[in-house]
Amino acid sequence: MAKIGFIGTGIMGEPMAANLQKAGHQLFLSEHYGKASEALVAAGAVALANPQQVAQEAEFIIVMVPDTPQVDDVLFRADGIAAGLSPNKVVIDMSSISPTATKAFAAKINATGAQYLDAPVSGGEVGAKAGTLSIMVGGEPQTFERALPLFQSMGKNITLVGGNGDGQTAKVANQIIVALNIQAVAEALLFASKNGADPAKVREALMGGFASSKILEVHGERMIKGTFDPGFRINLHQKDLNLALAGAKELGINLPNTAGTQQVFSTCVGLGGGNWDHSALIKGLEHMANFSIRDK
């Protein structure tokens, strides 16, 4: 049994933490943002006042918060994780944030004698609950091996990509692929429906061919049924594409399709859909076409 600090128990973080509990690990939670999860506390987690106290109690400290500024805050605030570290403790950031910032955060944590892993995930709320997340890890191999049993409680496809920052780079690449595939499915279903075909039947036909994909299977069905309760919110996917586009600018490369998909997400946000599931990207295309595939 490991002593694990877990900071960030939202849509993704709470089921991830619950799976660690089910594996027999002791959890320590921070109440610096608000009350700790009642379900996790009822199952044995210990609620502490701030991230510093969590780091003092735990061997591994996992961070799962929305964006780069929040990771910076929980790590380096006056009563943050860094203030409670001692040599050989392991900080694992499972958020999806800037690869550039991650390298700077890792250098500061590693300088304390602790070790740092960036380990963002893919698989959404469904994968978090099922313990089947894909986990992309950046850090030293020996630190990865120490943390591997924890990752195995939360995910199935676990890959050490490279050094610090490489896990976040892989996640940004993942989000580019997912976003562009969502847009491809949305455009195809919009085209088919506007041309008079039944989009559900078109999807069924495409599922048997080379166009078949998890996005067409899961998000295509969401688009047809109009079920856009979030598994992964548009505003979070926008954040990830902003990381991709900012990184592309730093690298001097062009990502035209990523930029185009970001514009459609922005249309959705303008319609009040920042908290829609990212499959609702089709609603941005429908708005521009003045046509809905669900109104036939």
Superfamily designation of domain 3-162: NAD(P)-binding Rossmann-like Domain (3.40.50.720)
Provide Rg for the chain, Cα atoms: 20
Does residue 171 carry a catalytic annotation?
Answer: yes
Query: Which of 126, 271, 291, 259 lies closest to 183, judged by CA?
Result: 259
pLDDT given for residue 276 in this prediction: 97
Residue 216 DSSP class: I
Query: Which of 278, 290, 66, 286 lies closest to 180, judged by CA?
Result: 278
CATH 1.10.1040.10 residue window(s) in the chain: 170-289
pLDDT given for residue 124 in this prediction: 86
276 SS3 class? coil
Contact 25, 16 (CB under 8 A): no
Per-residue pLDDT of 17-66, as tens digits, reads 999 999 999 999 999 988 999 999 999 999 999 999 999 999 999 999 99
295 SS3 class? coil
Determine how many CB atoms are found less than 10 A away from the CB of residue 229. Answer: 10
Taken as a whole, the chain contains a residue count of 296
Q: Is the pTM of this model over 0.85?
A: yes
42 SS3 class? helix
pLDDT along the chain (296 residues), means of 10: 96 96 98 93 97 98 96 98 98 96 98 98 92 98 98 98 98 97 98 98 97 96 96 93 96 98 98 97 98 89
pLDDT given for residue 295 in this prediction: 83
- Of the listed 22, 108, 156, 171, which one is catalytic? 171
CATH 3.40.50.720 residue window(s) in the chain: 3-162
Contact 64, 6 (CB under 8 A): yes
Query: Which of 128, 137, 204 lies closest to 165, judged by CA?
Result: 137
Query: Which of 32, 29, 30 lies closest to 17, judged by CA?
Result: 29
pLDDT given for residue 296 in this prediction: 60
Query: Which of 29, 33, 27, 68 lies closest to 47, judged by CA?
Result: 29
pLDDT given for residue 34 in this prediction: 87
CA distance 258 to 254: 9
* Fold adopted by 170-289: N-(1-d-carboxylethyl)-l-norvaline Dehydrogenase; domain 2 (1.10.1040)
Query: Which segments of 143-285 are extended strands (E)?
Result: 155-162
